[in-house]
Chain A
């Protein structure tokens, strides 16, 4: 299988206030193929979000190798890594992380802007229509429900057609009904476009929807 994500012997520690090192990630191996959808589960504070930040190149590992779509972003310069992230990784956050001063369409266009690929509004508009927000393009986040906000965030993550989509507790801020709708939407679009999806969650109802569930503890 063609691997989109491969991690080997990755570790990450933080120095605490008292000077001691706190290891938050120690991971032997994780590999995800193209179009694969995986739920990564673990207890709160087990380093799930840190792992996603390492994969996204927002954090750098202390040791190990992270390869995304054939490239090890940790070996790139910071600027190149930022550009690589914009083009290759879609990121959906628990708290949506939309920019409040921008409309739904503009938030999606921001995702497009830094990748340096598409420049028009067609793809962003189409994606928002796909997630059911065709009539809410010019609404700012405050005018949208939380479910709608997360759908905008999904459209933003997918606008550059990234091979890898990371979702950090994507239903964590939603009620059960909205959470299910949003997760199904995310999975459906990723499946249709062969995006590899790695969802981090501690929610058992989310885990149940995935055929492949990986426990973080088992990877160390």
Chain B
């Protein structure tokens, strides 16, 4: 027989109250742990997601929007930049790699990204990790075909503008021969494959717009054929469909309209732009080139550069306040649970006074009685917290399936966050505080009065 056994017996005697109060503690802790895990996991994943994206260049607008659009396939594109700028960046001695991206369509909500073969051959989404094919091959790419696609897209734009002005429309030019040589081919991410069931050789019809919509126009005239499936990267790549950039510009609605005035006055170049892209991902030869190039690009009127890692940090600085609010809510639940424990034990004190008096008559000291009641409150909190800790991780693990389908990444559900130990400590302190009042009442129990026969 020992104190702890007495505590357990007391708890079992009031099993319902113990269970209810313990559950409220567990819920509070589970909520706090889940918030912490999700916050840290999402931040970590978002930050990891930026590892391969040293710098992103796109149209003037919100840098965060540019980053979300290019790196995470979220939000809409802030606009286009000229192909000439892409070529300039690609040929810049400071730039090791420049990969263009064009977006504007989706298939069942999965974003279709027009790019070049450099994305598969040279781009590393994390240091040392390139997108690897799980099946099939990558699409064929040639710059000549791309230029031809640009011409066709520009021609279509002219025809549409003429039509809008009510002028006679010249018949559309025949598709260049190289379009037939490079049919509409796509390489799909692992999540796209698992969610849509698309397999090598199957075709699909893209819908216009980056978000699925009932009104969206479908590009029925140009079905894409799946030629490759990427292995899982646990990044946004898993949820993307990569198509040949030239096929992107063969589609109706992806016209290239020339600017009425030259945008790049700095370059004194009045040649018409052959094409446009949504953004360019840059890998530099050395980090020392980052800021000079960043400044140069941001001084332009038609483009801007953004550091994805910095933008994501800024985003989480903002989101952090919401996290703190949720955490405060979880702590409030814990406090309410603590009050519930105090009320529960306090309510049981009238029936316990006799037991306390018996223990005192048997030789238990006041301090021992105080400890028994306090230990009971702490045990409820401790056990509730332990269950809550495990519960929080299980909730995150259970939510991972949904999270993966929605975002393409999972949170390490069974990774222990340092703050969890603080939550455990807070719960124990809370238990002790909630037990203080009833324990003091037990301490002061009048032994002689409570030993008297009740009937």
A residues sitting closer than 8 Å to B (CB atoms) are: 49-50, 53, 56, 58-59, 78-79, 82-83, 85-87, 91, 93-95, 97-102, 106, 109-115, 156, 169, 172-173
B129 within 8 A of A: no
Residue of A53, A82, A109 ringed by the most chain B CB atoms within 10 A: A82
B1 in contact with A101 (CB, 8 Å):
no
Docked complex Cα distance between A157 and B454 (Å): 20
Across the interface, name the chain A residue whose C-beta is closest to B364: A114
- The smallest C-beta distance from A212 to any residue of chain B, in angstroms, reads 25
The answer to whether A102 and B9 touch (CB under 8 A), given A95-B454, A97-B451, is yes
A113 in contact with B13 (CB, 8 Å):
no
Identify which of A58, A94, A100, A110 contacts B1 (C-beta below 8 A): A110
Stretch at the interface among B233-241, B354-362, B383-391: B354-362
Docked complex Cα distance between A113 and B451 (Å): 19
A111 in contact with B453 (CB, 8 Å):
no
Across the interface, name the chain B residue whose C-beta is closest to A94: B453
B451 in contact with A93 (CB, 8 Å):
yes
Closest 4 CB pairs of A and B: A86-B363, A114-B363, A109-B1, A101-B13
Residue of A50, A99, A109, A156 ringed by the most chain B CB atoms within 10 A: A99
Docked complex Cα distance between A169 and B455 (Å): 13
Docked complex Cα distance between A106 and B8 (Å): 13
B368 within 8 A of A: yes
Could you say which residues of chain A place their CB within 8 Å of the CB of B454? 95
B12 within 8 A of A: yes
Could you say which residues of chain A place their CB within 8 Å of the CB of B2? 113
B137 within 8 A of A: no
Docked complex Cα distance between A10 and B363 (Å): 23
Could you say which residues of chain B place their CB within 8 Å of the CB of A49? 448, 452
B358 in contact with A99 (CB, 8 Å):
yes
B358 in contact with A85 (CB, 8 Å):
no
Docked complex Cα distance between A173 and B454 (Å): 11
- The smallest C-beta distance from B211 to any residue of chain A, in angstroms, reads 62
B453 in contact with A101 (CB, 8 Å):
no
A58 in contact with B451 (CB, 8 Å):
yes
Interface size of B in residues (CB-CB distance below 8 Å): 29
Identify which of A53, A109, A114 contacts B448 (C-beta below 8 A): A53
B310 within 8 A of A: no
B121 within 8 A of A: no
Query: Residue-by-residue, is B364-398 near A (CB-CB < 8 Å gives 1, otherwise 0)?
Result: 11111000000000000000000000000000000
Could you say which residues of chain B place their CB within 8 Å of the CB of A113? 1-2, 362
A110 in contact with B452 (CB, 8 Å):
no
Could you say which residues of chain A place their CB within 8 Å of the CB of B6? 110
The answer to whether A95 and B453 touch (CB under 8 A), given A79-B367, A101-B12, A102-B9, is yes
B179 within 8 A of A: no
B447 within 8 A of A: yes
Could you say which residues of chain A place their CB within 8 Å of the CB of B368? 114
- The smallest C-beta distance from B287 to any residue of chain A, in angstroms, reads 69
A99 in contact with B364 (CB, 8 Å):
no
B453 in contact with A82 (CB, 8 Å):
no
Identify which of B9, B357, B358, B363 contacts A82 (C-beta below 8 A): B363
Could you say which residues of chain B place their CB within 8 Å of the CB of A172? 453
Could you say which residues of chain A place their CB within 8 Å of the CB of B455? 95
Docked complex Cα distance between A95 and B451 (Å): 9
Docked complex Cα distance between A95 and B214 (Å): 79
Across the interface, name the chain B residue whose C-beta is closest to A103: B9
Across the interface, name the chain B residue whose C-beta is closest to A159: B362
Could you say which residues of chain A place their CB within 8 Å of the CB of B366? 78-79, 82
B361 in contact with A91 (CB, 8 Å):
yes
A114 in contact with B362 (CB, 8 Å):
yes
Across the interface, name the chain A residue whose C-beta is closest to B355: A99
Docked complex Cα distance between A6 and B365 (Å): 25
Identify which of A82, A95, A100, A111 contacts B360 (C-beta below 8 A): A82
- The smallest C-beta distance from B11 to any residue of chain A, in angstroms, reads 9
A58 in contact with B361 (CB, 8 Å):
yes
Could you say which residues of chain A place their CB within 8 Å of the CB of B447? 53, 58
A82 in contact with B448 (CB, 8 Å):
no
Across the interface, name the chain A residue whose C-beta is closest to B367: A79
B344 within 8 A of A: no
B10 in contact with A101 (CB, 8 Å):
yes
A112 in contact with B354 (CB, 8 Å):
no
Could you say which residues of chain B place their CB within 8 Å of the CB of A114? 359, 362-365, 368
Could you say which residues of chain A place their CB within 8 Å of the CB of B367? 79
Across the interface, name the chain A residue whose C-beta is closest to B361: A91
Listed by A's residue number, 24 A-B pairs whose Cβ atoms lie within 8 Å are A50-B448, A58-B447, A58-B448, A58-B451, A59-B448, A78-B366, A79-B365, A82-B366, A83-B363, A95-B454, A97-B354, A97-B357, A99-B358, A99-B359, A101-B9, A101-B10, A106-B1, A110-B1, A111-B363, A114-B362, A114-B363, A114-B368, A172-B453, A173-B453
A82 in contact with B364 (CB, 8 Å):
yes
